[in-house]
Amino acid sequence: MTRRALELLCLVALGAVWGWANDSPPWTFAGALLGALVWAIFDGLRARELLNWIAKGEASRAPSLSGTWGELVERCRKLIKKLEKKAQNSDARLEDFLAAIQASPNGVVLLDATGRIEWANLTAANHLGFDPQRDLGQYVRNMVRAPAFTAYLNAADFSYEIQVDGPGPRPSQPSKISLQIHPYGKKRKLMLTRDVTALQLAETMRRDFVANVSHEIRTPLTVLSGFVETMQSIPLEAADRERYLALMSQQAQRMQTLVSDLLTLSRLEGSPAPGAGEWVDGDELLSHVLQEARGLTQAIAHPPHQIEVSEHAALLVSGAKTELLSAMSNLMSNAVRYTPGGGNIRAGWRSTPDGGAQFFVEDTGPGIAAEHLPRLTERFYRVDRSRSRETGGTGLGLAIVKHVAQRHGGQVEVQSTPGQGSTFMIHLPASRIRQRSIA
């Protein structure tokens, strides 16, 4: 017999005894009924206590009841605890999941059936320029105002992605955001965003590059084919033929230089940076490029330039010798090509306070206006287009110099005053430089 039934019996018996003590059978019956009523009230109170606790559902605040109620409390407590644990586990899983989506480089926005933002990660908010907390519950069409996006939502054809402008570093420089909606569940939508600014920039650069190369090759090709046609159609005097052939060879040479510079650039871009490699004597590099420059000035300048070493640090440079030579001779040949004949060109190595060193070429040429300086190392960027062409320039020289410097952990610096001259420097870090003891 359960404790609860025993309690009922006891109370009924107590009531009956109390009635019987009053010497009349109806009182005995009434006493028993009263006992049962008292039991029912107490029992009801305990049931209410249990129900109240279950309604709150906190396992740790279980009422202390005895008997059958106690047993019920214990079983409910275990059940609630189990549910609490399950809920905790799924909360933790949800948090892990959301943290993973937060860390994603792609933006994720969850939209409800009416197009309001239910949840968004920080990346999406940055891509589209809204606040992931404050703007929850807002209609996404109010948050992303680009006409392309409104049209995309209205058409409700989400089989392709679209691009919209995002809030870039400056209003004049918006970022390019690619965005696609994926419907799921009951009319809900998952919106994924991706920053494609760099991709677009690379694509624009690729297109510009192809256009530039085509243009650079087309000019000498047109000249060449013009001469070929002339020579085919008109009988020429020996002297004219010689002159035409010299001009044709000049154009062919121009294309060859361009192709060779392009190959050098693509080799520099596509290969790993040179290791410590060999240690090359700075003097050896310097005298090589000085000799080249003296040859060039004799050939193209009237009168030739004064070319001399103005500073001399005895050092060894580590890296790829051919690359270093190509970068240094590009700077020397620019100085010769852009400085009017008879000008002064000074070059040399100097140590720098950071333990590194600088190869410098200083000229008394036309100088370069400040607004051109940041763009000088861009491929095909020219300040003086006609002078560059006249002297066989490809517009790739300084791009090669920059790549070589960067591959050796260094950088290119330019100082220039229009009308007075320029100084181009390749700065190499301490790790690439060793002092040479002079014997």
Structure tokens at 44: 């009801």
Is cis: bond before 303, omega within 30 of 0? yes
Q: What CA–CA distances, in Å, run from 386 to 323, 327, 337, 382? A: 28, 23, 12, 9
Closest CB 271 distance from ligand ADP, rounded Å: 21
Report the residue number, 8 or 376, with the smaller CB distance to ligand ADP.
376
Q: How far apart are CA 175 and CA 292, in angstroms?
A: 46
Closest CB 196 distance from ligand ADP, rounded Å: 30
Closest CB 247 distance from ligand ADP, rounded Å: 20
Contacts of residue 102, defined as CB under 8 A and 6 or more positions apart, other chains included, come to 121, 122, 123
Q: Is 307 in the site for ligand ADP (CB under 6 A)?
A: no
Report the residue number, 286 or 398, with the smaller CB distance to ligand ADP.
398
Residues 329-348: x where in contact with ligand ADP by CB under 6 A, - otherwise, as a string:
-x---xx--x----------
- Could you tell me if 47 and 54 are in contact, meaning their C-beta atoms sit under 8 angstroms apart? no
Report the residue number, 80 or 347, with the smaller CB distance to ligand ADP.
347
Q: Out of 188, 382, 434, 436, name the contact with ligand ADP by CB under 6 A.
A: 382
Report the residue number, 81 or 387, with the smaller CB distance to ligand ADP.
387
Q: Is 220 in the site for ligand ADP (CB under 6 A)?
A: no
Q: Is 6 exposed, middle or buried (0-12, 13-18, 19+ CB in 10 A)?
A: exposed
Closest CB 373 distance from ligand ADP, rounded Å: 9
Q: Is 363 in the site for ligand ADP (CB under 6 A)?
A: yes
| Residue range at the interface with ligand ADP (CB under 6 A); choices 63-71, 139-147, 270-278, 390-398 | 390-398
Q: How far apart are CA 427 and CA 408, in angstroms?
A: 9
Q: Is 193 in the site for ligand ADP (CB under 6 A)?
A: no
**b/e per residue 325-356 (b: at least 16 CB within 10 A):** bbbbbbbbbbbbbbbeeebbbbbbbebeeeeb
Q: Is 365 in the site for ligand ADP (CB under 6 A)?
A: yes
Name the residue among 228, 262, 259, 233 with its Cα closest to residue 245: 228
Q: Is 368 exposed, middle or buried (0-12, 13-18, 19+ CB in 10 A)?
A: buried
Contacts of residue 359, defined as CB under 8 A and 6 or more positions apart, other chains included, come to 282, 285, 286, 328, 331, 347, 348, 349, 425, 426, 428
Q: Out of 31, 319, 397, 410, name the contact with ligand ADP by CB under 6 A.
A: 397
| Residue range at the interface with ligand ADP (CB under 6 A); choices 13-21, 25-33, 283-291, 362-370 | 362-370
Reduce the secondary structure of 362-400 to three states and give it as a string. Answer: EECCCCCCHHHHHHCCCCCCCCCHHHHHHCCCCCCHHHH
Report the residue number, 320 or 399, with the smaller CB distance to ligand ADP.
399
Closest CB 397 distance from ligand ADP, rounded Å: 3
Q: Is 216 in the site for ligand ADP (CB under 6 A)?
A: no
Q: How far is CA 314 from the centre of its chain?
A: 42
Q: Out of 111, 140, 328, 368, name the contact with ligand ADP by CB under 6 A.
A: 368
Instruction: Tell me, by CB under 6 A, how many residues bind ligand ADP.
Output: 22
Q: Is 28 in the site for ligand ADP (CB under 6 A)?
A: no
Strand 306-311 and strand 344-351: the pairing is parallel
Report the residue number, 189 or 337, with the smaller CB distance to ligand ADP.
337
- Could you tell me if 189 and 167 are in contact, meaning their C-beta atoms sit under 8 angstroms apart? no
Q: How many residues comprise the chain?
A: 439
Q: How far apart are CA 314 and CA 281, in angstroms?
A: 8
* Three-state DSSP state, 2: coil
CA dihedral 264, 266, 270, 276 (to 10 degrees): 20
Name the residue among 330, 324, 344, 327 with its Cα closest to residue 284: 324
Q: Is 384 in the site for ligand ADP (CB under 6 A)?
A: yes
Q: Out of 80, 121, 388, 404, name the contact with ligand ADP by CB under 6 A.
A: 388
Q: Out of 366, 403, 410, 433, name the contact with ligand ADP by CB under 6 A.
A: 366
Q: Out of 120, 398, 404, 433, name the contact with ligand ADP by CB under 6 A.
A: 398
Report the residue number, 269 or 354, with the smaller CB distance to ligand ADP.
269
Please list every residue from 173 through 192 that binds ligand ADP, using CB under 6 A.
none
Report the residue number, 173 or 386, with the smaller CB distance to ligand ADP.
386
Closest CB 371 distance from ligand ADP, rounded Å: 13
Q: How far apart are CA 421 and CA 439, in angstroms?
A: 36
Report the residue number, 39 or 338, with the smaller CB distance to ligand ADP.
338
| Residue range at the interface with ligand ADP (CB under 6 A); choices 21-29, 82-90, 244-252, 379-387 | 379-387
Binding site for ligand ADP (CB under 6 A): 330, 334-335, 338, 363, 365-366, 368, 376, 381-384, 388, 393-399, 422
